[in-house]
Structure 1
Amino acid sequence: MIRCRTLETPLQVEFSSGEHTGVCDATPDKGGQGQGFRPHELLEAALGSCTSMIITMYAKNHGIALTGVGVSVTLDRSEPGITAFDCAITLSGDLTDEERQRLLRAARACPVRKTLSAKLIFREKGEVG
């Protein structure tokens, strides 16, 4: 569970898992200070991080000589009613073309990608204490 609470600086929000903490903020043109991640950047980070992790785990489990993964994610909401995540993956290591293809296929198994691809519903729980 992530808990969020507003901070004194307008539009800044602290989020915490109980173990780790971060700050979310709006850009100055939206009334924030730009001193933290924007909410949509957190979605991009979740997808990119999970993709990197799943590729790394797959490589380790299959003895593939992967030395690094880079993932860039951009959220595109320019078309009404459509949300697109544009992902670019860079793989490092002495990899064959077949291994690269296997790793890119493994990326599709990312649990965050599966979550974002599923039908979403939002349940309002009222005030939390």
Structure 2
Amino acid sequence: MVTCVDRKEKYRSVLSNGNVSIECDNPKAYGGAGHEFGPHDFIEAGYAACLNAGTRKICERENISYEEIKITVALDYHDDEKMYIRHKIEIKGVSKEVEADIAAREFQNCLVKKNLSKELIFEPLED
């Protein structure tokens, strides 16, 4: 569970999961100063973190050495009917064939992707 508490500055807030906290701000286009992560950045971050961890688990399980795993996620929510969440998985230090194979498998298995692909129901949290 995450809580979000406002800051004095316009549209700034702090998010906490009870263990760590991170500052949040609206992008300039939406009235904020844009100095911190914005609300949509957290959707991208959750998906990127899941893809990164899953890719690392595949490499670990199969004893595949790599130099770096870099995940890029871009959210496009400007269509009134659809939201596009695009990703790129890069594994430095392996062949393009190995990278493509691992990326395809992780895309199929990513738990955050599976959860975001379900029907979403928004409702108040009961006390």
Aligned position for 1:83: 83
Aligned position for 2:101: 102
Letter in 2 for 1:106: R
Taking the aligned partners of 1:29 and 1:125, their CA distance within structure 2 comes to: 30
Alignment of 1:103-122 (within 5 A): 103-108=102-107, 109-122=109-122
SS at match of 2:4: strand
Q: Could you tell me which runs of 5 or more consecutive residues in structure 2 were left unpaired when the two chains were aligned.
A: none
CA distance 1:29–1:80, shift in 2 (3 Å): closer
How much identity, in percent, do the aligned residues show?
Answer: 23
Please tell me whether the aligned partners of residues 44 and 74 of structure 1 are also in contact (alpha carbons under 8 angstroms). yes
For each residue in 1:66-99, what CA deviation from the matched residue of structure 2 results, as whole angstroms up to 9, or x when unmatched?
22111111111232210111111211123472x3
TM-score normalised according to structure 2 size: 0.89
Please tell me whether the aligned partners of residues 51 and 107 of structure 1 are also in contact (alpha carbons under 8 angstroms). yes
Taking the aligned partners of 2:100 and 2:89, their CA distance within structure 1 comes to: 11
Please tell me whether the aligned partners of residues 74 and 87 of structure 1 are also in contact (alpha carbons under 8 angstroms). yes
Please tell me whether the aligned partners of residues 67 and 93 of structure 1 are also in contact (alpha carbons under 8 angstroms). yes
TM-score normalised according to structure 1 size: 0.87
Aligned position for 1:67: 67
Deviation at 1:26? 1.0
Please tell me whether the aligned partners of residues 64 and 95 of structure 1 are also in contact (alpha carbons under 8 angstroms). no
After superposing on structure 2, the runs of 4+ consecutive aligned residues of structure 1 that deviate more than 3 Å are none
SS at match of 1:66: coil
